[in-house]
A and B are shown apart, each in its own frame.
Chain A
C-alpha cells in the first residue's frame, strides 16, 4: 500500500476541522420561527390533506416521506452488505440437502403440524396490517415483518433451500426503485390525475404494500443467507 504524503494528511485534518466549524456555525445560528407548534401542524388537518385516518401513516407517507425513502435505502444497503459478507471466503456454492428431499428427521411432528395450521392466519394478519395501514395502527414495515415471519417459520418445517434468492434480490431492488419513484411523482411533482381523497388513499395503500413487500423480501433474504451460506 502506498504511503500517503504527510502534507496531504495535514490538509485533510484542517479541512475536517474547518467543515465541522462551518456546520456548527450554521446549525447554531439557524432558527426558524413557526406560527404554531409542529404537533398542531401534523395533527390538525391530516385527514383532509393526506387521506390517511392514522396520523402516523400521514406523517411517514406524506409529511416526512423523505425519511421513509432513506429508511428503505438503509434496509437495501444492509441486505447488500449481508450478501457481500456471506459470500466472503466461501465457495460460490449453495448448501442444500439434495439426497433427502424432505428432511423432517430433526423436526418435531408437533411443530410441523402447528406451523402448517397457523400459516394462513399469519399471512392474513400480515396482509391486513399492510392494507389497513392508513386506517388502523400498522403499516408497510410491520406487515412486511409479519409476512417475513411466515416465510421464516417455513424454514422450521421444511429446512431446504429451494427458494430462488437471486430473483428475490432483483425483486427487492425493483421495489426500491418503485418506492423512490412514486413519492417523487405524487408528493414532490404532484402528478395526479385528480386531487381527491380517493386518489390520496390509493397512494397510501400502494406505498404501504410496496414497503411491505420490500421489507418482506429484505428480511427473508437476510435470514436465508445466514442460514444457508453461513456456519455449518
Chain B
C-alpha cells in the first residue's frame, strides 16, 4: 500500500514538474519529487542512497536551478487596481482566469520571458515614480489602461495580440509611456 502511494506520488509530481506553466514552480515540484524519491529509497532499505538523493536532489540542484532562473530574463508586470480596498487572494483569483494566466502563457510560449507579477492598489502615478516595471495594467472602473514603452518589442506583441492576452475585457486603452510626455502623464 505504502509503495503504491509512493509511486503514484512520484508520477504525479513528475507530471507537475513537466507540465507546469511557471519555471520556478517546476523547480519546487522537482524538489518535492526528490523528497518522495528519498522516502522510496528509505522504504527499500537504502539509507546511504537516500541521504545522497536528499543532499543532491533537494539541496544542491534546487538551489542551482533557482539561481539559474534568477539569471533568466524576466518580464516585470505590475497590476494596479485602485478600486480594491485590500489586495487579498480573492481579488487575485478574480483576475486569474481572464488576465493573469493568459498573460503568463503568452509571455512564456511566444516571447520566452519569465513573467513576474506584482499586485497593488496604490495610485498609479506613485508606482510609476517609485518603481520601474516593464508593463502596467491599470484598471479604473470599467476602463483598462495598458502602459508600456513603444521601443519595447514584447509590449508591442502584447498590444498586437490583445484578444489572446486579455480576455473578457472590452474597453482597453493603450498608452505608450515614452511617447506621452511627462507633462501629460502628470495631469
**Could you list which residues of chain A lie within 8 angstroms of chain B, going by C-beta atoms?**
54, 56, 106, 129, 137-139, 141-142, 145-146, 148-149, 152-153, 155-156, 219, 223, 227, 231-232
CB distance from B75 to the nearest CB of A (A): 15
Please list the residues of chain B having a beta carbon within 8 angstroms of any beta carbon in chain A: 47-48, 50-52, 55-56, 59-60, 63-64, 66-67, 70-71
Are B67 and A156 within 8 A (Cβ)? yes
Of B50, B60, B64, which one neighbours A137 at CB under 8 angstroms?
Answer: B50
Q: Are B48 and A145 in contact (CB under 8 A)?
A: no
For A146, give its contact among B48, B59, B64, B67 (CB under 8 Å): B59
Complex CA gap A153/B64 in Å reads 9
How far apart sit A54 and B70, CA to CA, in the bound complex (Å)?
41
A153 and B63 in contact (CB under 8 A), knowing A142-B55, A231-B71?
Answer: yes
- Asked if residues A155 and B67 are in contact (CB atoms below 8 Å), the reply is yes
Would you call A141 and B59 a contact (CB within 8 A)? no
- Would B48 and A56 count as touching, CB distance under 8 A? yes
- Could you tell me the distance in whole angstroms from the C-beta of A134 to the nearest C-beta in chain B? 12
Q: Main SS of the interface on chain A?
A: helix
What's the nearest-Cβ distance from chain B to residue A54, in Å?
8
Residue ID in chain B nearest A155 by CB atoms: B67
CB-based contact A137/B48 at 8 Å: yes
Partner of B52, one of A141, A152, A223, A231: A141
- Other than the given A137-B48, A142-B48, A156-B66, 19 more pairs (CB < 8 A) read A54-B48, A106-B70, A137-B47, A137-B51, A142-B51, A142-B52, A145-B55, A148-B60, A149-B55, A149-B59, A149-B63, A152-B60, A152-B63, A152-B64, A156-B63, A219-B60, A223-B64, A227-B67, A231-B71
Given contact pairs A146-B55, A232-B71, A138 touches B63 in the complex (Cβ within 8 A): no
Report the minimal beta-carbon distance from B43 to chain A, rounded to whole angstroms. 14
Complex CA–CA separation, A44 to B64 (angstroms): 41
- Provide the bound-state CA to CA distance between A219 and B48, in Å: 19
- Please give me the residue from chain A that is nearest to B71 by CB atom: A231
Who on chain A is nearest to B47 by CB? Answer: A137
Across the interface, name the chain A residue whose C-beta is closest to B70.
A106
Q: A231-B71, A232-B71 are in contact. Are A145 and B47 (CB under 8 A)?
A: no
In the complex, chain A residues whose CB is within 8 Å of the CB of B63: 149, 152-153, 156
Residues from chain B with a CB closer than 8 A to the CB of A54 are 48
**Closest-CB distance, B134 to chain A (whole angstroms):** 16
Residue from B50, B60, B71 with most neighbouring chain A CB atoms (10 Å): B60
Q: Which of A149, A156, A227, A231 contacts B60 (CB 8 A)?
A: A149
Q: How far is the CB of B48 from chain A (nearest CB, A)?
A: 5
Complex Cα spacing A156 to B67, Å: 8
Q: Is the CB of A145 within 8 A of B52?
A: yes
Please name the 8 residue pairs, one residue from A and one from B, whose CB atoms are nearest each other, closest first.
A137-B47, A145-B55, A149-B59, A142-B51, A56-B48, A137-B48, A142-B52, A146-B55
